[in-house]
């Protein structure tokens, strides 16, 4: 056996199983199980902050109403944008399952665009609050508002980085392993839907109550 053959045998031995195809016992490939475990930890992270919000709100003698000074119109617009991005990512995954990389990439790009619009609008919102002299140190409401929306914004930014990677260098995977690339978009999408889900609850709790 020559050196090349040895190397290929070694590569096969080192290959991680169930990276693309599902394990017989769980019915899931590794990445999908991994992302759900990660999302479970994310639920606890945001859950701790929602719990803190309840504690602060129920313990306060008076609590500011978000709709009286926060920009509800911009937040409603952002809600639509985030919902739209959830659809574009699931459409990207669907087109990849159909074998159409071109359309898949168009929808991933649309998702990134939606995310950037969301972050830009949030930036405008933050700068307006700062101009009005409203900072995290001003009161408990603003402290929890900036913490929760800031953490959520960081999650959006993380998603943008992941999607840009799969649009750029990560797209090379499609040429050799289209199924694996499709799976990667699916699990990135699961993360993205979770980020959308968090905003669905943040929006009424912070802006409308």
Positions in the binding site for another protein (CB under 8 A):
20-22, 26-29, 32-33, 36-37, 40, 43-44, 47-48, 50-52, 54-55, 58-59, 67, 72, 76, 79-80, 83-84, 86-87, 90-91, 94, 97-103, 105, 171-176, 178-180, 182-183, 186, 189-190, 193-194, 196-197, 200-201, 203-205, 208-209
Scanning the structure block, which residue is given the tokens 């199924």? 179
Minimal distance in Å, beta carbon 30 to another protein?
10
Please choose, from the candidates 206, 167, 202, 208, the residue with its C-alpha nearest in 3D space to the C-alpha of residue 184: 167
Select 62 or 131, whichever has its Cβ closest to another protein.
62
Select 35 or 160, whichever has its Cβ closest to another protein.
35
Select 60 or 130, whichever has its Cβ closest to another protein.
60
Minimal distance in Å, beta carbon 203 to another protein?
7
Euclidean distance between CA atoms 194 and 200, whole angstroms: 10
Select 43 or 127, whichever has its Cβ closest to another protein.
43
Minimal distance in Å, beta carbon 60 to another protein?
12
Helix (H, G, I), strand (E, B) or coil at 180: helix
Q: Which DSSP state fits 137?
A: T
Select 80 or 130, whichever has its Cβ closest to another protein.
80
Please choose, from the candidates 185, 126, 195, 194, the residue with its C-alpha nearest in 3D space to the C-alpha of residue 156: 195
Minimal distance in Å, beta carbon 170 to another protein?
10
Minimal distance in Å, beta carbon 133 to another protein?
25
Euclidean distance between CA atoms 15 and 88, whole angstroms: 33
Select 36 or 135, whichever has its Cβ closest to another protein.
36
Euclidean distance between CA atoms 181 and 92, whole angstroms: 12
Measure CA 192 to chain center.
3
Scanning the structure block, which residue is given the tokens 């701790």? 48
Minimal distance in Å, beta carbon 56 to another protein?
9
């Amino acid at each position: 056996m020559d050196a090349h053959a040895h190397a290929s045998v070694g590569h096969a031995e080192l290959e991680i199983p169930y990276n693309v195809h599902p394990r017989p016992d769980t019915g899931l490939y590794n990445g999908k199980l991994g992302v759900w475990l990660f999302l479970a930890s994310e639920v606890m992270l945001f859950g701790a902050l929602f719990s803190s919000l309840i504690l602060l709100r129920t313990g306060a003698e008076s609590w500011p109403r978000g709709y009286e000074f926060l920009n509800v119109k911009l937040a409603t617009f952002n809600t639509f944008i985030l919902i739209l991005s959830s659809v574009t990512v699931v459409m990207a995954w669907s087109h990849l399952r159909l074998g159409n990389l071109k359309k898949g990439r168009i929808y991933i790009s649309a998702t990134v665009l939606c995310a950037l619009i969301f972050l830009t609008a949030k930036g405008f919102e933050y700068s307006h609050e700062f101009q009005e002299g409203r900072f995290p140190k001003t009161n408990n409401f603003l402290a929890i508002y900036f913490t929760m929306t800031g953490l959520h914004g960081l999650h959006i930014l993380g998603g943008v980085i992941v999607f840009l990677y799969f649009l750029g260098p990560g797209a090379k995977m499609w040429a050799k392993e289209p199924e694996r690339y499709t799976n990667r978009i699916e699990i990135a999408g699961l993360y993205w839907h979770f980020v959308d889900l968090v905003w669905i609850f943040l929006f009424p709790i912070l802006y409308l109550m």
